[in-house]
Each structure stands twice: as structure tokens, then as C-alpha cells.
């Protein structure tokens, strides 16, 4: 599969000098075409910074990002973002359809064509009947579906999703996850989804990239060997799912290096260090 997104030695610092906060450090990974890659990491680890760098909203301090071979400088043309906070990301003064058309304004010439594309994208998420409503007249889950439709309407080469289902209730969340899997299957999009929810990353992903605590770097890149057709009940109880989620949970747990130990530099070393820590912990536990 050809590479869609390539992130090389990405680092980002906020501020300069000794007071600088390093949000992301030495991040290298790729996302292939038609793949749904999930990035999972603890809260506040720099996931959003990474995503904002890829979206071209901020310039990384170091490293390079390329989207289908073109180095990202500024916001790329064929990329779309679904933000976590749908209530702030949707424009309350525009109707549902207006919100979707907003994204098409610079991409699609002609009013009727924009309208057609917007209506089509809304039908993918089952909201064609609510096109003329205002966002606040819809439930939270429906609002996030509008955000998804807005992003899909652009037919982006890469769809970025920043904790897209973190602000809805559990049932809506499950529905939205299945909706994402369905539209993705039907339209073959490449998706990079950031989440702090381990189960969600395994359930949705073809691949899960595990991030360390701040400054974020990749500690593991795990393929998800689950059938493409997933189901909230059977998939989540399958042994493969349980095995993966346990593995990721282990990776995320207790990642801070012990005092006096030298800071591991590369991702692989961090991974090994984590495993060592894990074993040590197990031995202390068995010693009790």
C-alpha cells in the first residue's frame, strides 16, 4: 500500500529556553493509504499538538511531515479535520447544510454543486433530513455527525480526527464508532484518529500507534488483526481484541522512567525500558 502520511523526527516545543515545554519529541511514523490508524496515548501527552502539526495549524519546531509525498507547509489542500469539541467547531449561525458547505467553498465552484455535495455527505451520516436545522437543535451525537459529514464532503486524502467521540455518552459513542467504520468502508478514506481510549483505538484501528507520556513519542506500532467487519459485542469480546487492549494498557501503564535511570532516547529503547519496568513491577508484586 502506498504511503499517505509520513511523519519524520517530529518535535514541537512551546516557548524557548529552559522554560520551554516539549510537547512532542522524535516522532516518526507513517500511515498508508486506505488505512485507519489510531494514535492512543495518555491525556495531555501531546496528541493534540501532533495533530495540529499534521493539520498544518502549527509549524513543528523540528522534523518534517509529508502528505502523499508533498511536504506539509501550511494547511494542506486535501486534508480534513474532525475536532473533539463539536459544539465549538460547528458554526452556530450556519445551518447544518451551511456548515458542510462552508468547507466546500474554496474547493467546489458553483452553488448547486456545493449543495449537492453537502446533501450527499449528510446522507452518508443519515442527516439529510436535518439539513436546514441549526446545529444546536440537534443532539450531541448528531452534531458530531455533522462535523464528520463536513470533513467527508471535502473528500480528503487524509481525515484527521481529534478525540472525535470523547464528548458524547457511551451509547452514542458506540453508534458513532460504527458509523465511522461504515462510511470508511463505503468510501475508502484514510483516517488518522487520536484517542485516549484504548478500547476505541483497537475497535476502530487497522493499526494502533501507542504514544508515551509527555513529551510524546511512539512506543509501539501494533497491527490490529481483527476482521474488517466489526461488531460492538462480538469484536470487543474476541480473544484477539482482549489481548491487544491488554498489551496497550500495559504499554501505557507506568511509563515514567525510574529515578536515576538515563532517559531512553529512541522509541525502541523506551519500549524495552517499559517492558523492564513492567517485569520489575511483576516481580515486586509476586514478592509481596
Partner 1 sequence: MSRVMGLAQRWIVFAVAVVVWQLLTASAQNVYFPTPWQIAHHAWNLWFVTEDGGFGLTAAVTDDILPSLARVVGGWALAAAMGVVLGTALGRSRTGMQYVGPLFAFFRSLPSPALLPVFIVLIGLNDDMKIALIVFGCIWPILMNTVDGVRSVDTVKTDTARAFRASRVQWVAMVVMPAALPKIFAGLRLSLAIAVILMVVSEMVGDTVGIGANLVEAQSQFDFLTMWAWIMLLGIIGYVLNLAMLAVERRALRWQPTRSAVANARRTAKAGG
Which cell goes with 153? 464532503
Q: Of 11, 80, 157, 202, which lies in the binding site for partner 1, with binding defined by CB under 8 A? A: 80
Is 103 one of the binding residues for partner 1 (CB under 8 A)?
yes
Answer whether 146's CB lies under 8 Å from 96's CB.
yes
Q: H helices of 109-260, where?
A: 111-124, 140-153, 170-187, 198-204, 234-237, 239-252
Is 285 one of the binding residues for partner 1 (CB under 8 A)?
no
Comparison of 58 and 174: residue with beta carbon closer to partner 1: 58
Comparison of 47 and 245: residue with beta carbon closer to partner 1: 47
Is 136 one of the binding residues for partner 1 (CB under 8 A)?
yes
How far apart (Å, rounded) are the C-alpha atoms in residues 144 and 164? Answer: 8
Is 39 one of the binding residues for partner 1 (CB under 8 A)?
no
Is 189 one of the binding residues for partner 1 (CB under 8 A)?
no
Contacts of 206 (CB under 8 A, 6+ apart): 35, 36, 37, 223, 224
Is 93 one of the binding residues for partner 1 (CB under 8 A)?
yes
How far apart (Å, rounded) are the C-alpha atoms in residues 95 and 130? Answer: 9
Q: Of 12, 97, 117, 150, which lies in the binding site for partner 1, with binding defined by CB under 8 A? A: 150
Per CB under 8 A, the segment of 15-23, 92-100, 194-202, 224-232 that binds partner 1 is 92-100
Contacts of 182 (CB under 8 A, 6+ apart): none
Measure the CA dihedral 206/189/229/37, to 10°: 20
Is 75 one of the binding residues for partner 1 (CB under 8 A)?
yes
Is 79 one of the binding residues for partner 1 (CB under 8 A)?
yes
Is 241 one of the binding residues for partner 1 (CB under 8 A)?
no
Per CB under 8 A, the segment of 83-91, 121-129, 204-212, 236-244 that binds partner 1 is 83-91
Give 15's DSSP letter: S
List interacting residues with partner 1 (CB under 8 A): 52, 55-57, 75, 77, 79-81, 83, 85, 88-89, 91-94, 102-103, 105-107, 134, 136, 150, 154
Amino acid at each position: 500500500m502506498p504511503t499517505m502520511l509520513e511523519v519524520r523526527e517530529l518535535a514541537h516545543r512551546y516557548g524557548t529556553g529552559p522554560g520551554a515545554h516539549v510537547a512532542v519529541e522524535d516522532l516518526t511514523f507513517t500511515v498508508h493509504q486506505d488505512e485507519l490508524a489510531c494514535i492512543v496515548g495518555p491525556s495531555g501527552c501531546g496528541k493534540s499538538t501532533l495533530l495540529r502539526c499534521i493539520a498544518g495549524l502549527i509549524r513543528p519546531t523540528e522534523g518534517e511531515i509529508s502528505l502523499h509525498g508533498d511536504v506539509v507547509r501550511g494547511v494542506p489542500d486535501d486534508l480534513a479535520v474532525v475536532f473533539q469539541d463539536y459544539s465549538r467547531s460547528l458554526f452556530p449561525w450556519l445551518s447544518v447544510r451551511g456548515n458542510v458547505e462552508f468547507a466546500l467553498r474554496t474547493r467546489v465552484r458553483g452553488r448547486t454543486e456545493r449543495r449537492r455535495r453537502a446533501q450527499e455527505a449528510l446522507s452518508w451520516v443519515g442527516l439529510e433530513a436535518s439539513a436546514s436545522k441549526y446545529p444546536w437543535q440537534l443532539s450531541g451525537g448528531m452534531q458530531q455527525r455533522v462535523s464528520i459529514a463536513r470533513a467527508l464532503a471535502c473528500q480528503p486524502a487524509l481525515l484527521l480526527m481529534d478525540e472525535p467521540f470523547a464528548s458524547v455518552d457511551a451509547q452514542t459513542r458506540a453508534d458513532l464508532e460504527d458509523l465511522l467504520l461504515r462510511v470508511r468502508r463505503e468510501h475508502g478514506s484514510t483516517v488518522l484518529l487520536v484517542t485516549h481510549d484504548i478500547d476505541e483505538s483497537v475497535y476502530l484501528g487497522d493499526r494502533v500507534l501507542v504514544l508515551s507520556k509527555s513529551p510524546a513519542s511512539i512506543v509501539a506500532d501494533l497491527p490490529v488483526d481483527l476482521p474488517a467487519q466489526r461488531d460492538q459485542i462480538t469484536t470487543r469480546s474476541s480473544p484477539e481484541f482482549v489481548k491487544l487492549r491488554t498489551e496497550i494498557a500495559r504499554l501505557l501503564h507506568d511509563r515514567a522512567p525510574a529515578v536515576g535511570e538515563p532517559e531512553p532516547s529512541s522509541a525502541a529503547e523506551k519500549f524495552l525500558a517499559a517492558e523492564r519496568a513492567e517485569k520489575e513491577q511483576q516481580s515486586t508484586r509476586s514478592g509481596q
